[in-house]
Amino acid sequence: MASGMTGKDMFSKSKKLMIVDGNSLVHRGFHAIPHLSTSKGEPSNGVYGFVMIFLNAIKQIKPDYVAVAFDVSGPTFRHKMFSDYKAKRVKAPQELYDQIPKVKEFVKSLNLPIFEKQGYEADDVIGTIVKHKEGGVKNIIVTGDLDALQLVNDHTSVFTTKKGLTETIEYDEAEVKNRYGFGPEYVIDYKALRGDPSDNIPGVIGIGEKGACELIKKFGHIEDLYKALENPSTSSANKAASLPEKLRHKLIDQKKEALLSKKLATIDTKSPVGFDIEKTLFGNYNAATALKFLQEMEFKSLLDKLPRIQNQESGIMNQEGKPINKNYHLIKTQKKLDALIAELKKQKGFAVDTETTSQKEIEAELLGVAVCYQTGEAYYIPVSKQKVLGSLNLDISGLKRVLLDNNIEKYGHNIKYDYAVLNLAGIDLQPLSFDTMIAAYLLNPGARGLSLDNLTFTHFGYQMQPIEDLIGKGKNQITLIDVPVEKVAQYSCEDADFTLQLKEKLESQIIKEKLAKVFYEIDMPLIPVLALMEKAGVKLDTGYLSRFSKIVGKDLESLEKRIHKIGGGDFNIASPKQLKEILFTKLQISTADIKKTKTGLSTAASELEKMKDKHPIISLILEYRE
């Protein structure tokens, strides 16, 4: 280990294996979302909960490897030790168990292995997996069951939901100690003393959470506790003798139950489960299969949360995962440009994508235009000098006329940007007939992933080339003008191609959902209006604003003095902490019906409104805030 580097530092750079407790997540989802089913009436709350927690864990953990473990129905080795194991557990509704095959179908759609073993619980399978011999791999167990905390060590943590399905916490050794007051190695002793009603683990009757924690802090493992109780010569005998007599009798009388409970609570880390970490490598899967599953389950809100594919082969994939002809062209000669223009004139419409030097329309220099009039084939026309291109001296006047032709529809993704850039270059793009970004928003207003690459992945399972592949990141980032034009052409043609594919898919959905009037009569006509407004800007009367600022400044200064006078001294009116001190401590204003936050009583506007009649300072503070 390098000098000054801690184990934790090394850990942060290691690869990650995420091990998922399948049954636990299904149960968590099923009970967190009481009523959810598909349009066919098929219950789906357990599946939805699993998928949601799983995808959230993937996003936060960013694992290199993923394994999923499940329980197998039937008795386990624990039932042989204790026939009443889990005997009092109320059986979950059958509709929960009916959803587990669907969960497994989702796992398999991600090309992930499932681990399960007859006679063992998922916890035992997970416990065995985390004992793998692969060096430099951190284990993160994703579960809703805190039994797994006993497995936490310097290379294993537990990731679990804290509240609902999205608020999470990751337990490392320090976090376990913070929760219980002792480390992970004592978790099974805790269950041995306290018991676990959900699994019908008896424990020691009469000892609860607090009592179990105190005993462990004093004696450690229960074996050491019983040595102290039964052997006066041990160093801990005096501590044992100081325990209340009633408690000592409970412990001694129920020793057998306590030791049995510890065995029942202990996860078997040597179950006969074959594990090959290479088979759990995550990221290489058929996105179309996973997307189809989510679509069939009607999990629309989760479509754009699927992780991106790491090792996708080149070639466009349609929704069924079948290859589509990929044929992107860089127009280098006038002859080819004239032939393309002749074809464009025959079309009802085509997709347009511009490439520039900036994401800000006003600052952007137009580099080229990609067009696509049939899916799978697109063309890039450079209009300014770019790297490895030189001067082509292309006459683009014919292209301009096609872009201006009001009889040929133009489609784009965030076409307002393309319109603004072309407008600044002297080309009034007409007509703006379809914007796939606006259409996607109308169809799913709650979605966040409205970028072209997100929508392409969601609808077609295809991972588009990221712009960073061309221009890099951070301080060494360049602009497209410095990228070889052949690469820019491929990138831009891909954008135009998938814009057309999305247009063809979303257009029918807009009609089906009865959104055509809003889309075609309100949203689309507004695009050039907004673009030209942004280009023109807003004229400001800076002289008037300057004079008005001075007037407002004087009013605020006057208000501030009045507030300070009533409050009995200077304080920061904008500071909630100082304001609370003045209102509730110094002025003793009643706090009845005032909401509390994590930091104490609230001084939000809604709460101040409740106090308007209780003290004259309140109205002044509200006026000051306005």
Of 311, 338, 356, which residue sits at a domain end? 311
Residues 134-162 have a mean pLDDT of: 91
Indicate whether 240 pLDDT > 90: no
80 vs 372 pLDDT, higher one? 372
Domain count of the chain?
3
Which value, in Å, is the radius of gyration of the alpha carbons in the chain?
33
Is residue 391 situated within a structural domain? yes
Q: Across the strands, what pairs with 323?
A: 317
> pLDDT of 113-127, one tens digit each?
999 999 999 999 999
User: pLDDT value at position 422?
Assistant: 96
Indicate whether 589 pLDDT > 70: yes
Is residue 568 situated within a structural domain? yes
pLDDT band at 319 (very low <50, low <70, confident <90, very high): very low
User: pLDDT value at position 177?
Assistant: 93
Q: What share of the chain is helix, strand, coil (3-state, %, to 5)?
A: 50, 15, 35
pLDDT band at 310 (very low <50, low <70, confident <90, very high): low
Q: What is the mean pLDDT of the chain?
A: 88
Q: Which segment, 404-413, 546-555, 594-603, is predicted with the most confidence on average?
A: 404-413
The CATH number given to whatever domain includes residue 611 is 1.20.1060.10
User: pLDDT value at position 473?
Assistant: 84
Indicate whether 101 pLDDT > 90: yes
Residues 305-309 have a mean pLDDT of: 78
pLDDT band at 371 (very low <50, low <70, confident <90, very high): very high
Residues 4-23 have a mean pLDDT of: 67
Of 484, 511, 536, which residue sits at a domain end? 536
pTM attached to this predicted model: 0.65
Is residue 264 situated within a structural domain? no
| Residues spanned by the domain of 162 | 11-172+275-311
> pLDDT of 469-493, one tens digit each?
888 888 888 888 888 888 899 999 9
84-88 contact pairs (CB < 8 A, 24+): 84/200, 85/199, 85/200, 85/201, 85/264, 86/199, 86/200, 87/200, 88/197, 88/200
Sheet-wide strand order for 377-382: 327-330, 377-382, 366-374, 349-356, 409-412, 432-435
Q: Which of 124, 100, 108, 120 is nearest to 25 (CA)?
A: 100
User: pLDDT value at position 444?
Assistant: 86
> pLDDT of 328-358, one tens digit each?
999 999 999 999 999 999 999 999 999 999 9
User: pLDDT value at position 134?
Assistant: 81
Q: Are residues 74 and 91 in the same domain?
A: yes
Indicate whether 10 pLDDT > 70: no
User: pLDDT value at position 309?
Assistant: 67
Q: Are residues 353 and 429 in the same domain?
A: yes
Q: Across the strands, what pairs with 65?
A: 17, 281
Task: Confirm if 153 and 109 have CB atoms less than 8 A apart.
Answer: no
Task: Confirm if 70 and 104 have CB atoms less than 8 A apart.
Answer: yes
